[in-house]
Structure 1
Amino acid sequence: MAEAHQAVAFQFTITPEGIDLQLSYQALNQIYLSGVRSWKKRVSRMRNSLIKGVFPASPSSWLFVAIGILATMYMQSDPSMGLISKIQQHLPLRYGGQTMLSALVFSTLLWLSLILALRFCLKLLLSYHHWMFEQHGRVSNTTKVWVSLVRLFSSRKPLLYSYQTSLPHLPVPAISDTLSRYLESVRPLLTDPEFKRMTNLAGQFESNLGNRLQRYLKLKALWATNYVSHSHTQIHSGKEHFTVRDFLYVTPTPVQAARAGNTITALLLYRRKVNREELKPSRVPGTVIPLCAAQCERMFNTTRTPGTETDVLQHWQDSEFVAVYNKGRFFRLWVYRAGRLLSPREIEYQIQRILDDPSPPLPGEERLGALTAGDRVPWAQIRKQYFSSGVNKRSLDAIERAAFFVTLDDEEQGMKGDDPAGNLDRYAKSLLHGKCYDRWFDKSFSIVIYKNGKSGLNAEHSWADAPTVAHLWEYTLATDAFQLGYTEDGHCKGEVERSLPHPQRLSWEIPSEVQAQASSSLAVAQALADDVDCHVFPFREFGKGRIKKCRISPDAFIQISLQLAYFRDRGGFCLTYEASMTRLFREGRTETVRSCSNESCAFIRALEGRECRRLFRKASEKHQNLYRMAMTGAGIDRHLFCLYVVSKYLGVESAFLKEVLSEPWRLSTSQTPVQQMELFDLKNHPDFISLGGGFGPVADDGYGVSYIIVGEDMINFHVSSKHSCKETDSHRFGAQISRALQDIMTLLSADAKTTSSSSSSSSSSSSSSSSSSKDKKLL
């Protein structure tokens, strides 16, 4: 009761003697400090807005312009060519300093004009993408000049969002180019009659409905920042989640509350950097080319709210608490006190209070989160009817407005025990869906802290893509392990203020209708979760270091290996999705690299012959070109999808688009990029390597493959499929991936040896015969 009174700043009662007023100076002081923190944040935002608004110039450059104008006027020269005099005539004031004021007005207008000109020049520079298609080591003079100019414009230290207004808009490809590239991508998957039929469909679409839809799409591109981005805020499809996992070999502490304390602190420190725009803008690796940072804006305090037709992303400016779930109970945990972020030790103390809380769940509370895991329409209807007022609304608001969601899981996970491989699989599966009711799947992301201190992150896909979440998670892991650290007994460092109020238990009034729907949603989600087969394995035979020695792109090497693995697993080829990004453009998200190409299929079919090495390099170059085209706005699938959206809006049907969008992605792949290697000292701490991320299969009879290239000598894979499909098996496909990687490396190594030995005429004939015999053993 005493803790409750501390939250009240003042209270008064009316007595026969008058009004009895009681003040709580401690509560008033907390209100004052919270207000100071709020105003500091507002001032910081205003300062950052000014700095961003004048980028690539600086606010201080106005002073140089003004001094220059005044200096030329002092020398009896008019740099404005009469404009200062005209400004002076229209000024309402009449006093001696009127000339000075009109000169300052002209200086300001000139300064703003220069900023707009600089920004336009920077946008033109960032619209140049030919550099990406040049061969390594053969840089043209045009690109060299372009790099120098971009470096010049980037010489000032930019804020996180400084480049946003200078990024070019995503171009709408010509419909003939998209259709041509589409037909090329499906050619190896279709028989001659099927391909002829699809060619005719594409031709009819282009000559009739396609050009009409293209005009509407170009019209949208004129006023929209990104002609694709609208589909990410108005979400029609089902929910999709992905995960990123903890260190593979290391758990920094076995104390669950302590791991939660450091993890929550690291995430809030990252949020502070985002809010203050102190993070460096992401760039194309190895270059000065900036990437769009718009996804960072919705990272925290964001929830996907269900609708009967479309879901909508809701974002709040800030919040000083997180939502916590443990043993069927929901809590609001305040992480700030009097404007101060709690220390990791204090957050650990509060988390331990939640873990020690003996109170049971309220009726219907334990499985309430299943509503976010099932069908969206029933959840939208239940939310509107039972969660729009009263205690349920207040508790739901506490979850949805929270910075993020935290699950204190009562299970142990990770690579442990007598079956480390099987435990890794169970860890990945648990992180992906848990019990289907112990995560709040509508939140932008949920942190899971297991009983033995292992951790992980489950992210909702509509607000952002894997690289954005991976960047957050890299910072969190590194800050947790190397900066915040733990005491010798595994607890967080720092002191505890024992007067902290208890975490607030959320109250619910859940009627039988809501409980019934939660049970129904849980049954739907549980059936889907039980069907997912996950397999996680580290590939340690070699990594990107050895691949690069063969002068091959590591990503192309892995993607072609996946094609070979699928061919051996299923006896054919399939439509393959590889996620690329279009963040070279403003509000860019993802694009599809259709990795199954004519060139990759030709290599795999010819693997037993002598020409396979040449075909592999040709397939690798083709894959790299497809990836570059996707990055530079010349992809296929986003354009076709937007044409389909326009057709639905106009109420017209297209047989071609309907068939294209119904084609299953039986092999869906994605790379989890490592973006901040400087945070991890793998030389002195080689065990602190990440397991990467993962996701479920897209097609019922297909595979989902996620991989992360760790350091120079390891590649971690996450393979998923469905138990209900008798033709797929995640463990079998994982073995095929390992075999394909090694076989292609053997091929390239033999090629390198052959090239080396061919310089010596005495061994040329024996080299040729040995490489031929090696090729024949691969399939």
Structure 2
Amino acid sequence: MKNQLRNEAWRSYTNERNDKVSREHRCRKKDEALPTLPVPCLEATMQKYLAQVEAVAPNYLEKTRNLVKAFLTGPGPKLQQRLIERSQKVTNWATDWWINDMYLSIPLELPINVNPGLVARPKQFASQRDAAVFLARFLTELLGYQETLDKSQLEVERIKSKDGKTMQPLCMAQHYQMFRLYRRPGCSVDERIHLNRASSGDHIIVAHHNQFYNVPVRAPDGERITEADLTQQIFKIMEIPADEKVVPVGILTTAKRPVWAKAREELLKNELNRRSIELLENCLCIVCIDDDVLPTTFNNPYRKEDCWLGNRDYANVLHHALHGGGSRYFAANRWFDKTVHIILGKDGLWALMYEHSGGEAPAIFRIFEELTETVNALPSSENILRSYLTEPEKLEWCLSEQSCKDILEAMSSIDMLVEDLDLCILWFNEYSKEFIKSCNISPDVYIQLALQLTYFRLHEHLVSTYESASVRRFALGRVDVIRAASPEALAWVKAMCQGDPQAHVGGIVQEEGAKKVQFTIYSNQKIKELFNKAVQRQTKEMLDNIIGQGIDNHLMGLRYAALENGEPIPEIFNDEAFKIIQHFALSTSQITTKNDVIAGYGPVVPDGYGCGYNVRKNGFIFSCSAFHSDENTSAKKFAQTLEKSLQDMALMLSK
């Protein structure tokens, strides 16, 4: 179904340009020296694909082998050649197609399904004015950062090269784009609007009580307004009381993309609405001031002491950042299409939510943390207010009967989605990455195998596992997919589960009256050997991806190479095994931050899990998600089982 939707969207996707790089993908001079993304070897990708089928869809392995042979002797080489030719014409052969395939052609709602959230350590303010000062200072620093971007003066990030001796530059395009992109809904495919800095980004939108306010950040003379000016504007907005008559127009951005696209067209029929939408689309960012807290019904404590703010636990605050609690709370106090949302709660909640097609977490989370640290270190100051500042401009709406109906339907839909989301946060501190490194294992490889063991213990089989792999070593690179399910991982998890009460794998089970007796056939030494093989396989998978040899971008590119020429999709991509391989029931991501923050997202399929993990010096923070509507998944059970997996792995290595 998902592939069908993508194919239908592709047919209406008329903006693809074969012979030139689209405007939003133009590489800056600093990135011109970066290598281009390679096109992997076709035969190597097919062998890796077969290994995936062996691990997660073994019943289809023989048929898939035949399909692979037919593909390699049939359309495969021709499609491969087209990719090679495309790579010679554009800066990055995968990125345009990947953004369309991964985001723009998917009709799902942005909250939970797409937009990740991050919650930093809460703030403490003595008064509302202090909160306004903090926000103004943060925005002042943000404006300074934007000016650095405008001047193309951002320092290039670097990472160790493959040889481990030199530092390799990374593509900085995501940093330059994050405040210049807007995701506009479409009936068949969304559109990424690349904003012109000459006419946009000189104002922010402040959301309060479901009402939006336009706050210019440039004075009439063209200079940036001062911190004191911003403080005054924000404080004025904070003092405006809630109005029960306000219609929550922002809730429309929570709807499925085709639904929101039609509702937007209805709004645009009125000139007043057109101006409000234009201001929202062209702002630098959205600042959300939430005047209350989510109730403890959003709590899902792993342990009783897992409190973050008062009676709110870790899961509660992540709910707040991801979706705002639905229409009864703050979901309408957002404009989910905008790339960056800064969220300040009444109780000091300090959070970020962003639209994912605009960039990856390392770029967006990094600037949020760095600016927060800068503001925290600033001394108090007294700035003189300018006298010309006007009242913040309230965005006005003129709503038709159809628009009011659209809003009511959107409220109902987001509330159902919010109620379905199941979150649980595991803060694991029994050991840290230093222990893992002492075993000569990559912490990321180790955690990915722990997740495989966890899923197997819960469901007695492995599934396709998504872990985003940055390919920023290449010009305009975004991500590929590190796949942790492998034949080697499967062999190891079976051995690890030989003594589990409910897992009858890896050993011989005999009946003795009403009691089951299991005979172990794996020694600890054998389990270690299997683990080492799984580690080697996963390490190679990780390294292959970051040097541009992953399979998911390649498989996607081969499909699009056929679509672009109006040819039938090769049979290998219509096969049931391919659908299973593309069904990521376990979606994971290492979310590396400077501080102890909680960050996560929802599952990407109805019967799946999401698991973001923050590798800290003192342990790991796992944000586990599932959907209540699927009776076979549970975020809390996943977290509990993951904790046991991590404990058992350390025990295995210590023997």
Please give the TM-score of this superposition, normalised by the length of structure 2.
0.81
What aligned pairs does 1:33-72 form with structure 2 within 5 A after superposition? none
Question: What one-letter code is carried by the residue in structure 2 that aligns with 1:202?
Answer: V
Q: How does 1:91-170 map to 2 (within 5 A)?
A: 161-170=28-37
CA distance in 1, matches of 2:69, 2:127: 62
CA distance in 2, matches of 1:175, 1:692: 39
Q: Which residue identity lines up with residue 654 of structure 1 in the other structure?
A: P
- Following the alignment from structure 1 to structure 2, what is the Cα–Cα distance between the partners of residues 459 and 718? 17
Residues 1:603 and 2:492 aligned together: yes
Where 1:185 maps in the other structure, the secondary structure is helix
Residue 275 of structure 1 pairs with residue 146 of structure 2? no
Over residues 729-774 of structure 1, what are the superposed CA-to-partner deviations in whole Å (9 max), with x where a residue is unaligned? Answer: 10111111112112212222x2xxxxxxxxxxxxxxxxxxxx3xxx
Q: CA deviation at 1:407?
A: 1.2
Partner in structure 1 of residue 85 of structure 2: 219
Shift of 1:354: 0.6
Q: Shift of residue 228 of structure 1?
A: 1.0
CA 493–617 in structure 1, closer or farther in 2 if over 3 Å, else same: farther
Higher relative contact order (CA closer than 8 Å, sequence separation 6+) = 2
| Gaps in structure 2 of 5+ consecutive residues | 1-26, 497-521
Q: CA deviation at 1:269?
A: 2.5
| Residue among 641, 648, 665 paired with 2:556 | 641
**Per-residue deviation, 1:265:** 2.5
C-alpha contact (below 8 Å) 2:228/2:383 kept by paired residues: yes
Residue 350 of structure 1: aligned partner: 233
1:395–1:507 contact (8 Å) kept in structure 2: yes
* Matched letter for residue 653 of structure 1: I
Equivalent position of 1:334 in the other structure: 216
Q: Provide the residue aligned with 2:70 in structure 1.
A: 204
State the distance in 1 between where 2:313 and 2:89 align: 51
CA deviations 1:161-212 (Å, max 9, x no partner) are 5531111111112222211111112212233x52111111222223223233
1:372–1:442 contact (8 Å) kept in structure 2: yes
SS in 2 for 1:708: strand
Contact between 1:350 and 1:502, CA under 8 Å: does it hold in 2? yes
CA contact (8 A) 2:317 2:349 kept: no
Q: Do structure 1's residue 237 and structure 2's residue 112 form an aligned pair? A: no
- What is the distance in 2 between the residues matched to 1:701 and 1:250? 36
> Which residue in the other structure is 1:653 paired with?
569
Q: Distance in 1 between matches of 2:126 and 2:158?
A: 33
Show the counterpart of 1:527.
416
Distance in 2, Cα, partners of 1:742 & 1:646: 46
Counterpart Cα distance in 2 of 1:444 and 1:376:
16
User: In the alignment, what sits opposite 1:464?
Assistant: 359
Number of the residue aligned with 1:447:
342
Is it true that 1:397 corresponds to 2:278 in the alignment?
A: yes
CA contact (8 A) 2:217 2:224 kept: yes
Distance in 2 separating the partners of 1:277 and 1:507: 36
> 1-side partners of 2:389 and 2:244: how far apart?
23
Q: 1:389 to 1:622 in 2, by over 3 A?
A: same
2:152 and 2:552 mapped to 1: Cα distance? 33
1:18 maps to none
Which moved further from structure 2: 225-234 or 439-448? 225-234
The one-character-per-residue Cα deviations of 1:60-85 (angstroms, maximum 9, x if unpaired) are xxxxxxxxxxxxxxxxxxxxxxxxxx
- Code of the aligned partner of 1:604: V
CA distance in 2 between counterparts of 1:190 and 1:292 reads 36
Contact 1:213 1:647 in 2 (8 A): yes
State how many pairs are aligned.
568
CA distance in 1, matches of 2:258, 2:119: 34
Answer yes or no: is the 8 Å Cα contact 1:270–1:475 preserved in 2.
Answer: no
Partner of 1:424: 314
Q: Is 2:176 the partner of 1:303?
A: no
Q: Residues 355-387 of structure 1: CA distance to partner in whole angstroms, max 9, x if unpaired? A: 21237366xx53211221112223223333431
Greater percentage in helix: 1
Q: Report the CA distance between 1:214 and its aligned residue.
A: 2.4
Relative to structure 1, is the Cα distance of residues 509 and 557 closer, same or farther in structure 2, using a 3 angstrom cutoff?
same
2:97 maps to 1:228: no
CA distance in 1, matches of 2:642, 2:423: 15
CA root-mean-square deviation:
2.5
Equivalent pair of 2:314/2:598 in contact (CA under 8 Å): no
- Alignment partners' CA distance in 2, 1:538 and 1:747: 21
Which residue of structure 2 lines up, in the alignment, with residue 735 of structure 1?
Answer: 640
Distance 1:259 1:253, change over 3 A: farther
Question: Higher mean Cα deviation, 622-631 or 294-303?
Answer: 294-303
TM (normalized to structure 1)?
Answer: 0.69
* Code of the aligned partner of 1:397: E
**Residue in structure 1 matching 2:615, options 694, 709, 728:** 709
For 1:278-293, what aligned pairs fall within 5 Å after superposition? 278-284=153-159, 287-293=166-172
Q: SS where residue 393 of structure 1 aligns?
A: helix
Tell me if 1:513 matches 2:402: yes
Match 1:373 to one of 246, 254, 265 = 254
Post-superposition CA distance 1:634-681 (Å, at most 9, x none): 11111111222233331413332133245311111001123xx5xxxx
Contact 1:242/1:694 (8 A) holds in 2: no
Alignment deviations for residues 105-143 of structure 1 (CA, whole Å, 9 cap, x no partner):
xxxxxxxxxxxxxxxxxxxxxxxxxxxxxxxxxxxxxxx
Structure 2 CA distance for partners of 1:620 and 1:419, relative to 1, 3 Å = closer
Sequence identity percentage: 27
Distance 1:361 1:295 in 2: 40
- In structure 1, how many angstroms separate the alpha carbons of the residues matched to 2:33 and 2:427? 41
SS at match of 1:699: coil
In structure 2, the residue matched to 1:314 is 193
Q: Which moved more, 1:657-666 or 1:551-560?
A: 657-666
- Take 1:253 and 1:744, find their aligned partners in 2: how far apart are those partners? 46
Q: Which residue of 1 aligns with 2:52?
A: 185
**CA 1:278–1:690 in 2, change beyond 3 Å: closer, same or farther?**
farther
Q: 2:171 and 2:242 mapped to 1: Cα distance?
A: 46
CA contact (8 A) 1:407 1:439 kept: yes
Query: Which structure has the bigger radius of gyration?
Result: 1
Counterpart Cα distance in 2 of 1:577 and 1:717: 16
1:376/1:246 CA distance change after superposition, 3 Å: closer
Given the alignment, which residue of 130, 140, 152 partners 1:265? Answer: 140
Contact 1:254 1:454 in 2 (8 A): no
Instruction: Please give the alpha-carbon distance, in whole angstroms, between the structure 1 residues aligned to 2:247 and 2:74.
Output: 55
Letter paired with 1:424:
Y
Match of 2:597 in 1: 691
User: Contact between 1:244 and 1:691, CA under 8 Å: does it hold in 2?
Assistant: no
Query: Counterparts of 1:418 and 1:396 in 2: how far apart (Å)?
Result: 44
Question: SS of 2:192's equivalent?
Answer: strand
Q: CA deviation at 1:474?
A: 2.0
When residues 719 and 494 of structure 1 are mapped into structure 2, their CA distance, relative to the original with a 3 A threshold, is farther
SS at match of 1:340: coil
Q: CA distance change for structure 1 residues 500 and 353 in 2, over 3 Å: closer, same or farther?
A: same
- Equivalent AA in structure 1 for residue 155 of structure 2: K
Which amino acid in structure 2 is aligned with residue 428 of structure 1?
A: L
Change over 3 Å in CA distance of 1:216–1:519 after alignment to 2: farther
TM superposition shift of 1:397: 0.8
